[in-house]
Amino acid sequence: MAFFLQNLINALQWGSFYALIALGYSMVYSVLMLFNFAHGDIFMTGSYIGFFVASGLIALSATGTVAMPGWLILLLTILISMFLTSFVGIAVERIGYRPLRGAPRASAAITGLMIGIILETGNLALLGASRKKFPDLIETQTFTFAGVSVTNTKIMIVAVSLALMLALHLFIQRTKWGMAVRAMAYDFFVVPLMGVSINTIAVLTFAIGSALAAAAGILFGVAYPILDPYMGILFGWKAFVAAILGGRGSVLGAALAGFLLGFIEIFVAIIFPSTVRDLIAYSIILLILTFRPHGFFGEAYSAQLRL
Amino acid sequence: MLLSIENLRVSYDRIKALHGISFDVDEGEIVCIIGANGAGKSTTLRAISRLIPAEAGSKMTFMGKDLLDYPADKVVSELGISHVPEGRRLFGNLTVYENLKLATFARKNGQDIQKDIERVFAIFPRLEERINQKAETLSGGEQQMLAVGRALMSGRKVMLLDEPSMGLAPLLMMNVFDALRDINREGTTILLVEQNARMALKFASRGYVLENGNLVLSGKSEELLNNPEVKKAYLGG
């Protein structure tokens, strides 16, 4: 039992990253019917932005002008980086996708791939090939209850992720902006007839999705502090799997499927050697999709009505 | 002239849908465009709402402003031209209240919004009974009421109506048209496109006949109702 709980906690942390990233894929898909394949690299970019913000805040704090405890630096890093990374998402939408709004879907898909490559290699060109070490912001403490050991960082990562998901849920359900996002997911074409600009809502979803990816990037940096320009590729693909598995365009589904992916990977790794972890984990997911081709919460029909 | 359309041309993927039509609508009028399926009626309304692009050379002016300068959302929020689209196109995943509220997205004054929602409920009491129901659970008649109510919320200088009679039982249809007449009396100009020519011509004061992307006839409703060609083609002899 203790063994199971231990891994459950690990899986929750691992799944948090997937879930936060998957939400961005899912939101953008739901309003624009577009898979933003650059999203994994926005996660990477957010992580690097977090690295610089944290380093800057540490340096500022070290000068003694505004001495800040580690937890405050972490909190500020998350908030500032989410804010800054949202503009990366806005730029990607504005420069990459908007000119192709009327173009064939395949063009938009390769645009995402190209933007991803540009972000990766741009990072490489700017910062060089050496990896960055995400700074230690909070001292790790381990608590043990009934044979299960939990670190404060794990609790923090899961709690922050859940809080962000709850915030997103409330935003989508309770605000007029969220209402417009839901309406656009249902029927893109007539949204302007409500006096709502499609571009504004598109920008909004890119900004929110990118901010969540940045949060994932920083939390990932806290747990696994080595950053490299290609860290977003595999993570992005897996989170994309979660977004599809959750049901295209379903925010709740994307979050749950993100956690499910975390569970499957962690529990497969208990039984099998880690070299075959993804082989087995993703074979299981392939099997799940065979039986639920629309994912867990996806509609069997395309909710999008067009002209 | 409130709304003036000159030489409006629209194509879908090289297929010409409108071959340069011209018509106008005066303030306070009810005008209808009748025509068969595929004649270009919906295309006309969509072009006015700027949902689809008009070809070069088309001219559309509303209260002296060039409609082509406005994107679709501003046509609604700044010019006050609302559009009840073909097939109603409600947001089925949103409640009745949310559908009405969304239509005021660009508006700032919360009190006015509440007053307008109450006015919609005064016109269509059924909607108030269903206020928290998802729009997709409404009956066809209720959906049409909500579609009209939603248009009232978004802009009320002009209402463009695309086949409001579609799929409605005669009695419900009368209810909707009675409500529309009240809305018109309170100052909203109405441009209606309909396949149901008899209903449309009885409701409107003037009409145009659209055939294969060309306006072929126009006149007062009584004249069109008595026109032998219109009788033969659209009124069942």
pLDDT for A299 equals: 61
List pLDDT tens digits, range A82-102.
999 999 999 999 999 999 887
For chain B, positions 104-163, list CB contacts with chain A under 8 A: 104-107, 150, 154-155
Is pLDDT above 80 for A233?
yes
Residue of chain A minimizing CA distance to B93:
A186
Domain that holds residue A161: 2-291
Residue A303 lies in a domain: no
pLDDT computed for residue A248 by the predictor: 72
Residue B192 has pLDDT above 90, yes or no: yes
Evaluate whether residue A218 is within a structural domain: yes
Query: What residues of chain B, 65 to 94, have a C-beta less than 8 Å from chain A?
Result: 71-77, 82-83, 85, 89, 91-94
Residue A301 lies in a domain: no
Residue A297 lies in a domain: no
User: For residue B80, what is the nearest residue in chain A, using CA coordinates?
Assistant: A195
Beta carbons of A192 and B76 less than 8 Å apart: yes
Of A185, A195, A307, the CB nearest to B73: A195
**CATH (domain of A57):** 1.10.3470
Residue A298 lies in a domain: no
Does the structure's ipTM exceed the value 0.90? yes
Contact list, A187 vs chain B (CB under 8 Å): 89, 91
The number of distinct structural domains making up chain A is 1
- pLDDT tens for residues B140-181? 999 999 999 999 999 889 999 999 988 888 888 888 899 999
Average pLDDT estimate for A112-122: 95
User: Residue A304 falls within a domain, yes or no?
Assistant: no
Q: What CATH class does B3-234 carry?
A: alpha beta
Question: What does chain A look like in DSSP terms, one character per residue?
Answer: -HHHHHHHHHHHHHHHHHHHHHHHHHHHHHHHS---TTHHHHHHHHHHHHHHHHHHHHHHHHTTTT---HHHHHHHHHHHHHHHHHHHHHHIIIIIIGGGTTS-HHHHHHHHHHHHHHHHHHHHHHH-SSPEEPPP-S---EEEETTEEEEHHHHHHHHHHHHHHHHHHHHHHHSHHHHHHHHHHH-TTTGGGGT--HHHHHHHHHHHHHHHHHHHHHHHHHHS-EE-TTHHHHHHHHHHHHHHHH-TT-HHHHHHHHHHHHHHHHHHHHHS-GGGHHHHHHHHHHHHHHH-TTTTT--SS------
Mean pLDDT, rounded, of chain A = 91
pLDDT at A303 over 80: no
